[in-house]
Structures are given as C-alpha cells and as structure tokens.
A = this chain, B = another copy of it.
Amino acid sequence: MKTLQEMSRQELEELHSELAAQFEEIKAEGLKLDMSRGKPAPEQLDTAMPLLDVLNSESDLKTESGVDCRNYGVMDGIPEVKRLIAQMLETKPENVIVDGNASLSLMFDTVSHSITHGVCGSTPWCKLDKVKFLCPAPGYDRHFKVTEYFGIEMITVPMTKDGPDMDLVEKYVKEDAAVKGIWCVPKYSNPQGYTYSDETVKRFAALESAAEDFRIYWDNAYCIHDLYEDRRDVLLEILSECERAGHPDMVFEFASTSKISFAGAGISAVASSAKNLEWFKKAMTVQTIGPDKINQLRHARYYRDKEGLRTQMMKNSALIRPKFSLVLDTLEKELGGLGIGEWTNPLGGYFISFDAPEGCAKAIVAKCKEGGMVLTGAGATYPYGIDPKDSNIRIAPSYPSLEEMKEATKLFVLCVKLVSIEKILKEKK
C-alpha cells in the first residue's frame, strides 16, 4: 500500500475528486454531529439515575457524625463522602475537601486565592511582575483558560507517552522562581490518554523549585475511568510520593464525579497536605456557607465505597468502549498506512488524540464543520489556543450515539484525507 505522499499527482487528484463527491453526499444529509466536548451520553447518565432514589422526604438526612445535611455548616465535606473520595484517590479522608459540583471551580479558586493572597503566606501573585505556569501540551483547554484569564504566562512543555518532558519541567521549575505551577492530567491525559509513568511521578515528587509557592496542579479527572476491566493503567499516588520525597505541600490534586454520576450534578474534591488545606479553608470560610451536603450524602449512600464507584464505572465503560473501538477501527481501516495521521489508543479517559499532517488541523476541523460535525477547535489543546504545528485534533467519542459515531468518524476520515491530499498537491507544485 502506498502512502499518499508516494502517490502521483494524477492518482491524488482522482482520489480527491472521488472523496470530494462522497463529502458532498454526506454534507447533503444535513448532519448535526457534536464530538467537541467530553460529555457523557444520555444512556450513560441513565445508568446513574438510581442515585436520585437514594434520598426522599422520608429519609434521615443526618450524616454518620450526626450533622443535619439540610442545614448550614461543615466546610470541607461530610465524613462519609470524604471517605468515599479518599478511597477513589487512594489517600486519607483528612487529606480531602469535598465541595460542590465542579472541580474546575476548585482549580479556578485555588489559582484565584493565590493571585489575591499568595500560597500559604507567600507574596500574592498579583503583586509580582510575572507569574508563569508550565503547560504540558497537548492538554486540557479549560486549564489553559484559567491561567490565561489571570494573565499568567503559559510555557508549553511537550508531552510524551510517559508524561511531560521532565528534563524541561525540572529545569524550568528549578531555575525560574516565576514558575508557580504546572497543569497535569496524570492519568488518561486529556486529550492523549497517556498515563504518567512511575518515573515521571517520582520526578514530579522530587522537583526542586526556585519558588517556595510552586505547586503541581494534579487534575486526576480520570482516576478510575478505565475503558477495560482487564487492562488498565496504574498511576502512582502523588501525595504520598511527595511526602516521601520531602515535599508534602507541593501538590493540589483535583477530582470529581462529573464523569461518574452526573456531569452537571456531581461532587468535586481537592486533596492535599494539611498545610495546603488549611490555607484553602481560610478562603472557604469567607467564601461559602458550606457545600451542598444533601448531594454529598446522596453520593455517599449510593456508592458507599470504591467498589460502588467501580461498579458505576463498568456500566459507563460498557457504553463508551464500543464508541472508542469504532473510532479506532475506522481510523486504522481508513487511514492506516496512508502516512497522513497518527492517533492514540488509550485504555481510559474520554478522548482520542489525532495528529494530522502539519498545518492541516484547522482545515480539517473547518471541513468537518462544513460537513455537519463540530469538533473541539483546532489549537484548543495548546496554551493560548495556538498549536504551533497546527496538527492536533481532540476526538471526543463519548457523547454521540454509536450510530452517530459511525457517521461522524466516516466524515472525519474523509476530511482528513481531503485536506491532506490538498496539502500534498500544493507541496508538489
């Protein structure tokens, strides 16, 4: 089989006109597909519906410690939900604060508090000339949006299969006191689905930082989000690694049940050292009257423990797995060997990362849109929305139905081929 690069001009032109005709056919169908966000599908949310039966007007709404969940109070989460989340994150309940429905808010607030008040007594970042964050990329667009919102300079660090390029991370963190943080999705990374190797985690824990208030923002969003039961990535637990390395305060870990129970009505958590949590609670005491404890109780009583969460995740993955398979099979079948794309094959998480030929990502996303499908904007996986190679595209297969996914993937590979051929033809001129 020839790669497209090896084809003659004529072969390419013939192929292009054939594919263009197919594209016009699809376009005429007036599709409305959305593979832009890592949203759970309705069927997936259906599997969590019994959660809504746990509490009703007859229920005793007291926590195991005797607190009435309906009333004010309890800043850091009710005991049973702290235990649940601690199990999920393989840490101790005292290391955990459980909050409202969005871990993104906890991340935003952590950065915001640092801007206005500094971290554990350090100079407020708003008083500094320059604050920088390291951004392993491709990465999660909403992380980058937080740092961009606060005017924090973002430094791209390349991702590898084992995590961020740690030589670079170590160098930046050690040499530049303006580097105050790094965004990480350590397990089933967004969008590549890579899991940081043991060595990477250990190197993170051992980081020597020029800034006393440097922190790792460890967004463990996909901690138990495995696609397969027999094959799953294992991530070293960062809090204990940091403690062991003599840096107990270096990590803020974040997580939520957004992709376990309900995306819009789950619970979120931050895990860290006693000192960091004390700092965080100082702001919380002023900011809130406490989280929604009834929803926390609902989650704690329904899932009970890590096993309960795993059972939920098996229901979820049973629905997501076929969609991933479909995309991967189609990519392999339609693009394999053509030399116009590489993609990841993760064991968990919500995304497949696709690298198109350089300079083609934007055009492919635009072409897909023309054909009736919204993808995550090209570049979104990089700081400031600028992918220097214009190559990375995030594929989010979770939301559409399997039937829609077939259409979507067909359209996607078609657009990849069309845009790639156009690029090659242009270069051959």
26 contacts between A and B (CB under 8 A): A37-B72, A40-B71, A42-B70, A45-B70, A49-B57, A52-B57, A53-B56, A69-B265, A70-B262, A70-B264, A70-B265, A100-B100, A101-B289, A101-B292, A102-B288, A112-B116, A115-B116, A116-B116, A124-B126, A145-B285, A145-B286, A258-B289, A263-B289, A264-B294, A265-B293, A295-B295
> Which residues in B have their C-beta under 8 angstroms from that of A289?
101-102, 104, 258, 263-264
Identity of the chain B residue whose Cβ is nearest the Cβ of A265 in the assembled complex: B294
Question: Given A51-B57, A264-B291, 17 other A-B contacts at CB below 8 A?
Answer: A39-B71, A45-B71, A50-B57, A52-B55, A52-B59, A56-B56, A70-B264, A70-B265, A73-B264, A100-B292, A105-B288, A108-B288, A112-B112, A264-B290, A265-B295, A292-B295, A295-B295
How far apart are A128's CB and chain B's nearest CB, in angstroms?
Answer: 11
Q: What 8 pairs between A and B have smallest CB-CB spacing?
A: A49-B57, A265-B294, A126-B126, A108-B287, A45-B70, A70-B262, A149-B286, A101-B292
> Which residues in B have their C-beta under 8 angstroms from that of A145?
285-286
1/0 contact trace for A118-154 toward B, CB 8 Å? 0000001011000000000000001001100110000
The reply to whether A101 and B102 contact each other, CB–CB distance below 8 Å, is: no
How far apart are A67's CB and chain B's nearest CB, in angstroms?
Answer: 9
1/0 contact trace for A276-291 toward B, CB 8 Å? 0000000101111111
In the complex, whether A68 has a CB less than 8 A from a CB of chain B is yes
Among B70, B149, B264, contact of A69 (Cβ-Cβ < 8 Å): B264
| Residues of A57-75 whose CB lies within 8 A of B | 57, 59, 68-74
| Residues of A240-290 whose CB lies within 8 A of B | 258, 262-265, 283, 285-290
Complex-state Cα separation, A112 to B115, whole angstroms: 10
